[in-house]
Amino acid sequence: MGGDSEPLRLEVPSSSEYVLIARLVVSHLGQVAGFGPEEIYDLKLAVTEAATNVIRHAAVESFEIQYRVLPGEIGITVSDAGGGFEVDECAPPSEGDGGFGLSVIRNLVDEMVIDSTAGGGTRLTMIRRAGASATASNG
């Protein structure tokens, strides 16, 4: 997969047993891109959190994960056609409420963008650069 390659698209049934497939794909692409084991682990965890958020909150039958390998980075976009939410109203979770997924993702990747509106679905884009320490730069 070169810099001009088309993204790899994976349609995932909205069920937790299929999250492993999304993890395996990002793990392989991380190896192809030359990422180290810790970077691949971070990508797998970020994809797991993003997919779990869709499964828990979007109320859809399936969703799409798009992977793109570029020179020195991997971009991942998780999209659903669910009810969406107002990003500005997404408050930090209270103790015991769950909802730490977006905070976890933010600490695992170098860039994270959420595009969502109530009633309009959600698109979460994550970028991780090879050799970057996402935890150190965001923490």
State the pLDDT at residue 118: 84
State the pLDDT at residue 2: 46
* pTM, rounded to two decimals: 0.84
- Give the right CATH number for 8-138 from 3.40.250.10, 3.40.50.1370, 3.30.390.30, 3.30.565.10: 3.30.565.10
Query: What is the C-alpha to C-alpha distance for residues 79 and 73, in angstroms, rounded to an integer?
Result: 20
For residue 109, give every residue at least 6 positions away whose Cβ sits within 8 Å of its Cβ, in sequence order, or none. Answer: 42, 43, 46, 126, 127, 128, 134
Q: How many CB atoms lie within 10 A of CB 134?
A: 24
Confidence class for position 85, pLDDT limits 50, 70, 90: confident
Percent of the chain topping pLDDT 90:
71
Residues 94-126 have pLDDT tens digits of: 444 455 788 999 999 999 999 998 888 999 999
DSSP-assigned letter for residue 110: S
For residue 88, give every residue at least 6 positions away whose Cβ sits within 8 Å of its Cβ, in sequence order, or none. Answer: none
Residues 13-67 have pLDDT tens digits of: 999 999 999 999 999 999 999 999 999 999 999 999 999 999 999 999 999 999 9
Q: What is the amino acid identity at position 29? A: L
Q: How many CB atoms lie within 10 A of CB 76?
A: 25
State the pLDDT at residue 100: 72
State the pLDDT at residue 14: 97
